[in-house]
Structure 1
Amino acid sequence: MRKLLYSRFFPFVSRKKSKLKNQVMLGVGGNIGDCLFCFEALFRKISKDARFCILSTSPIYRNPPFGYEQQNDFLNATIQIATSCGVTEMFRMIFYWERCFGRGRKRAFKNAPRTLDVDLLWFNQLKLSWPSLHLPHPQWHNRESVLIPLQLQTII
């Protein structure tokens, strides 16, 4: 069942201007445990780190899984941030955040259930293709789990 959820930090639009140079869009998802709690805790964790400034977030979108369909619905949202981090440091931070919320280093199988999934959708207007990272994210424009939150987010 597709529907929008609202919480304390989703949606959010910052009133302050950031002097941090890099603009990043993250896709956030999960379907194990209390995902709403994880999203809000991630928001607080990012907010407390001086290397980041959250500019805006989307409402949370509940949608059915794709790929492996024998699992719970997913909650998804997008988060726009400004950061002083370079792309490699940002990529490392994403893995750190995921592990903080119980996601293992390796997934059991493609499209497996997860507590928190953070995708780097784009980083400035950078285009790159590394073995472990492609920017912009190669599938963002094909996924309702990204497109619908992005459409509802106020992008600064």
Structure 2
Amino acid sequence: MSEAYIALGSNMGDRESLLMKAIQRLHAQPGITVNRVSGMYETDPVGYTEQPPFLNMVVAVATGLTPLSLLRTGLRIEQELGRIRHERWGPRTIDLDLLLYDNVRMDQEELTLPHPRMMERSFVLVPLYDVLNVAHPLHEQVATSSVAATQAGKEGITLWKTINWLNESEPFES
């Protein structure tokens, strides 16, 4: 099994419910087990700023899927939860981005790993730091960037809620 990290975001509809449904759907997929779930963070929009704030988080999963299969599973879950792609960086019901897959580095038309812009985005770095395995080669860099982002108040990131993932079949909130 490989370990992968998936960022989730939502700023339309019941944001919290959509994030939890996406996590539950990921976990229900054959070949995917959600192991760790970050806190939910409310963040100011980046790029196109005339839209509601986002809720963002990251999950760590164990998977037997290839990186491309995992990406396509995330895209299918987005569609199932009502994602319609209108404009880049625009409002969305749900967004799932594959950030890291073990130590895999790849640059293909469909997928680039590690995610090419993740180190520029505190809305990714802060929740990623919550769940990133300390043995991962990027751990120290993510830790440093995450602390710097929260100290500077960069991109308006605020802890919204802590999520406890009890076991493989029963998530709950605290």
Give the structure-1-normalised TM-score: 0.81
Q: Runs of 5+ in structure 2 lacking a partner?
A: 135-174
CA RMSD after TM alignment: 1.4
Q: Runs of 5+ in structure 1 lacking a partner?
A: 1-20
Q: Report SS of the residue matched to 2:55.
A: strand
Match of 1:103 in 2: 83
Q: 1:18-33 alignment to 2 at 5 Å?
A: 21-33=1-13
CA distance in 1, matches of 2:93, 2:119: 23
1:52–1:83 Cα contact (<8 Å) kept: yes
CA displacement, residues 52-95 of structure 1 (integer Å, 9 cap, x when unaligned) = 11110100000100100000001000000001111121111011
1:124 aligns with 2:115: no
Match of 2:122 in 1: 144
Change (3 A) 1:154 1:136: closer
Q: Amino acid of the residue matched to residue 126 of structure 1?
A: V
Q: Amino acid of the residue matched to residue 49 of structure 1?
A: Q
CA distance in 1, matches of 2:110, 2:25: 25
CA distance in 2, matches of 1:155, 1:36: 25
Equivalent pairs counted in the alignment come to 134
Q: Which runs of 4+ in 1 moved over 6 A?
A: none
CA distance in 1, matches of 2:74, 2:101: 13
Change (3 A) 1:50 1:131: closer
Q: Amino acid of the residue matched to residue 44 of structure 2?
A: P
Q: 1:66-77 alignment to 2 at 5 Å?
A: 66-77=46-57
Greater fraction helix: 2
* Aligned-pair CA distance for 1:154: 6.3
Match of 1:7 in 2: none
2:68–2:111 Cα contact (<8 Å) kept: no
Q: Amino acid of the residue matched to residue 31 of structure 1?
A: N
Give the structure-2-normalised TM-score: 0.73
1:56 aligns with 2:44: no
Match of 1:5 in 2: none
